[in-house]
Amino acid sequence: MKRHVVYIALVIILTLVVVVSCAAPSATAPAAPKVLKIGFVMPFSGSASLWGQSIRPVMEIYGDLINADGGWQVGYDKYVVELHFADGPIFSIPADAAAVRSLIYDKQVSAIVSYFGIGYSAVAPICNAEKVIFNTSTISMGTYNAEREPYSVFGFPAVEMSINQAMAVMQAFPQYKTICWTSSKSGNVEIEKTFSPTDEAIEKKYGIKSIRLYYPEATTNFTPYLTKMAEMGTEVIFSWGTPLEIGLMARLPDGV
């Protein structure tokens, strides 16, 4: 699913960047194709690295296919695609900002796509100041300001997809009224504060109470966290963790 979404976003961004950057077509075609540099911020380290490592080869194939077909034709100009990747570990806002700066200032990309972290408020000002199109998820869309951030494009309905999946489960088991959202996090990121408007909306619309409890990266002993979830009244767990983390969580301790 994520691969298809990222591919669609790439096609949209390619079109947007070329249209924005093109001047009036010249009378004659250029001797050589122009280069369109696209940046990707994906998690290549940390608990979500599985997504970055699995999606990157697919995007490289799409880029190769575009170039093998002669590039992207707009008017009299043709553009070949040059892809640049940077590590943006999930829930690590400073790393995300550093990745974006590297792509913009070192690689001179015209657009950044595939970002689904929670650092929108830190990343968007950098992109918009440099007039770089920023295609991101709706995870931290609540901080979006249309007037200040005209180059931001929300192409990944990550929050909506997660809510729909979780609420489908909760509706299938109506006796449960409390859900705990969990994953790993790095640093002192206030994830609970970021998602508090979402949690309030879920409770208002569905009558479901949300609890959020996150664990440090590289955690292998989940007993303390599962015990804490139980103490907080958790009835259903929704995890963004890796298959290994979810498997270890499934080994529930006695009394949980």
Whichever domain contains 47, its CATH number is 3.40.50.2300
Calculate the CA dihedral of residues 200, 206, 207, 210 and round it to 10 degrees: -50
Number of separate domains in the chain: 2
Q: Is residue 79 within 8 Å of residue 34, measured between CB atoms?
A: yes
Classify residue 106: in a domain, yes or no.
yes
Model pLDDT, residue 75: 85
Helix/strand/coil for 69: coil
Classify residue 256: in a domain, yes or no.
no
Q: Is the pLDDT of residue 27 over 90?
A: no
Q: Which residues pair with 74 in a beta bridge?
A: 77
Of the three residues 101, 126, 156, the one that is the final residue of a domain is: 156
CA distance 184 to 46: 9
180 lies in the same domain as 148: no
Q: Is the pLDDT of residue 83 over 60?
A: yes
Residue 12, judged by CB atoms within 10 A of its CB (0-12, 13-18, 19+), counts as middle
Q: Is residue 75 within 8 Å of residue 50, measured between CB atoms?
A: no
46: left (phi over 0), alpha (psi -120 to 50) or beta: left
Model pLDDT, residue 156: 83
Of the three residues 125, 156, 187, the one that is the final residue of a domain is: 156
Take residue 140 and report the two structure tokens written for it: 């931290």
Model pLDDT, residue 140: 75
Query: Where does the pLDDT of residue 193 fall: very low under 50, low under 70, confident under 90, or very high at 90 and above?
Result: confident
Tell me, what DSSP letter sits at residue 141? Answer: G
78 lies in the same domain as 168: no
Q: Is residue 7 within 8 Å of residue 53, measured between CB atoms?
A: no
Classify residue 238: in a domain, yes or no.
yes
Domain range for 60: 2-23+32-156
pTM of the model: 0.71
85 lies in the same domain as 169: no
Model pLDDT, residue 185: 80
Place of tokens 């408020």: 121
Classify residue 45: in a domain, yes or no.
yes
19 lies in the same domain as 138: yes
Q: Is the pLDDT of residue 10 over 60?
A: no
65 lies in the same domain as 176: no
Residue 33, judged by CB atoms within 10 A of its CB (0-12, 13-18, 19+), counts as middle
